Each structure stands twice: as structure tokens, then as C-alpha cells.
Amino acid sequence: MNFENEMPKETGKKSNECDICGKSFAHRNYLSAHKRIHTGEKPHQCNICGKAFISTGHLTTHIRTHTGEKPYHCDICGKSFARSHQLTVHKYIHTGGQPFHCDICGKSISSKSKLTVHKRFHTGEKPFHCDICGKSFSISSHLTTHKYIHTGVKPYHCDICGKSFSVGSSLNTHKRLHTGEKPYHCDICGKTLSDQGNLASHKRTHTGEKRYLCDICGKSFSYSRCLIVHKRNHTGEKPYHCEICGKSFATTRTVTVHQHIHTGDKSYSCDICGKSFLRRESLPIHKRVHTGEKPYHCDICGKSFSGLTNLTLHKRSHTGEKPYICDTCGKSFTTTSYLTKHKHIHTRDVPYHCDICGKSFSQKRHFTAHASIHTEK
């Protein structure tokens, strides 16, 4: 939050000077509020979430994130805002004005504070530091959000389902899951999306842009999150742990899906055959068994597939790509499951045990074949 935007305009003689930075103010109370930037004092506390602020103006604006109040209305389109300067910036959409220009890249920016933040992308400046872990940020709000990782605080609560979030924007995006609102439109294909970040990511499917490059194998990705997850294939990092059995996973999604094994929860059911699935995305893929739809086509041989994952795996038969590498012997594999099975050779892990004769196997298919020997007798 930009402190200067919350301060009344300075007029007349400025006799009240800050003895730390030398800035002058027309009134003593403005000087007192300004000094809290240097001292870190935040005497005004939110009685809903406990967050503290240096001025009553900041507190009043913050409380609107809880109440949803947006008292500033655009007289052109009717859109509402919680802060007056947000309305001022918004109006540039209608007028076409972008009064501030970056002298490095020439980009036009709608406000002075946004220009300051933008320039940090060029300079690499990150002036906001976490006093717990030392991580630095270019924007103060990013530091505030980051600190919630240490404190565990999630002050923004969905009044529909009760889910909590560490930042207000995440709550707003989440609520669109309930309302179905998708206010962001792709000007290329017309697809609508629930938030601006998803729209930017979606547009890369049209442009083919893959700006995130793996510095280990050279593979590129359209999304930073995909690169982060991909790198775990090289490092073996699995930071997400099942709280029931302790098994580790590379992504939150895979640990969530895994936990359904313990609960037995299969929430997504096929309305044709009744089969249930742990994951929502598995259901439309399954339904293609009934419809015969195969929307994913190999651009090399023309073969069609019902799921994108199957197409990706198939293409490796053409390219010879084997991105999953054993860190013990260096052997490469086309899928993570093949790598996992291979590693049993090194660990001598044999997780499949026959309860009839006691023989053990490293792979499920070998165990299944063995079990048939007993059933045939």
C-alpha cells in the first residue's frame, strides 16, 4: 500500500520537517503519521484479523477487504473500488491516458507508484526484506503475503464454504468458483477465465511462448509453476507429505489425490456407467471411453488419443525423449512410473508380497502373474 496515496494533499507552508529523511509537511499530524514509516510503529489494529497499520486511513481501507465495501464508483461504467486512487487509475481505461512512461523500455504506466514498481524489474531492486528468513521482494505487499508462510495466518475467509486465504485477491478469485463468474475474456478465441493471471497464461497457448527455461535439461515451459515442478524430476525433491502414511510427493495435487486412497473418497462419478474417480479431471477423460472421442492428435503420425498425457507419452516414441533419469546409475525412462520401478533394483525394495507362499516382487505385474499360479491350482 502506497502511504503517500493515503495522505491528504500537502498545501501551504511546510514547517513540519521529518528529522530522519527531511521531508516536510503542512500539518504536525501528517508528520506524526509519516514518521511511523521509519519507526515501524503500527498503532491501528483491525479487530477482525488483527493486522496493524500506521494510520486510520490505512485501517479503514483494509477493513473494506473484509466487508466488501467499495464506495468509489466510476461514473462512466459503474465499476466500484475500495480506494479513491484505484478509481483514478481505472478511469484511464476510458480516457486512454497513461501519463507515466518508463525511460528504460518505454512502457506507459497509469500511476507513479506502478511506474516505481515496474522499474524494479529492470534494476532487480528488492528493497523489502523478510526479517525471519531474509528473502527479499520488490513490492511491500508481496512481503506481507510472504510472511503469512511463517505465521500461518489466513485472514480472508470465504463466507460460502469457509475456506481461508492469506491474501484478499485469492479469496476474490476463489469466490468465482461458487458464482461461476469469468470476467476475463481472451480476444483471440473468446474463452472466458476467472482471473487475469489465468488469462495471461491461457494466451500463451495461442502464441506458443515458453519463457521459462530449465537450466538443467533445456526444456522450456509456458508457466513458471510448471518449470518449478519439472525441476523436481531432476532434484528428486518431494516437499509435500501425506499426513497419514508419510509418503512424499512433488506437488500438492498429487498428495491430495493420494490421500483419497486412505479416505476412500471418490467424489466424481460417471453418469453413464457409475464408475467413480478420485480426480475431477479423470472423469471427462473416462467419458471418452463411452463417446469414442479422441481429441488429441499426434502431429507426426496422426494417431489420436483420448487424453493429453497419453499423447505426450506417445510422442516420446518418436523423439526418443526419456526425461526421467535414475540418480544411481544414470539410466533414463519415458515415465516416472518406469523410473520408480527401476529404482527397486538398487534399493532391493520388494513391496508386493504373496500371502500364500511368501514370495516377494518389486513390480505389481510380476506379482499378479505369480498370484495366478495359486488360483489355477
Decide: 2 and 117 in contact? Cβ < 8 Å: no
Decide: 130 and 143 in contact? Cβ < 8 Å: yes
DSSP state of 194: S
Determine the Cα–Cα distance for residues 163 and 155; give it in Å rounded to an integer. 10
Buried b (16+ CB within 10 A) or exposed e, 96-105: eeeebeeeee
Determine the Cα–Cα distance for residues 186 and 196; give it in Å rounded to an integer. 10
Residue 28 pLDDT > 80? yes
User: Is residue 288 exposed (0-12), middle (13-18) or buried (19+ Cβ within 10 Å)?
Assistant: middle
Tell me the β-bridge partners of 137.
Answer: 128
305 CB neighbour count, 10 Å cutoff: 19
Measured between alpha carbons, how far is residue 326 from residues 98, 248, 317, 348 in Å?
53, 18, 19, 15
Determine the Cα–Cα distance for residues 220 and 230; give it in Å rounded to an integer. 10
Predicted pLDDT at 80: 87
pLDDT tens, 122-173? 888 888 888 888 888 888 888 888 888 888 888 888 888 888 888 787 888 8
Determine the Cα–Cα distance for residues 27 and 12; give it in Å rounded to an integer. 10
Residue with cell 514547517: 15
Query: Residues 243-247: what's their mean pLDDT?
Result: 86
Q: What are the backbone angles phi and psi of residue 137, rounded to the nearest 5°?
A: -140, 155
Would you give the end-to-end CA distance of the chain in angstroms?
A: 76
pLDDT tens, 330-372? 888 888 878 877 887 787 767 777 888 888 777 777 788 888 8
Residue 229 pLDDT > 60? yes
Predicted TM-score of the model (pTM): 0.35
pLDDT tens, 256-304? 778 777 877 777 788 888 888 877 778 888 888 899 888 888 988 989 9
Considering all CA atoms of the chain, what is the largest pairwise distance in Å, rounded to the nearest integer? 102
Determine the Cα–Cα distance for residues 219 and 312; give it in Å rounded to an integer. 14
Predicted pLDDT at 91: 78
pLDDT tens, 86-136? 787 777 777 766 677 888 887 777 777 888 888 888 888 888 888 888 888
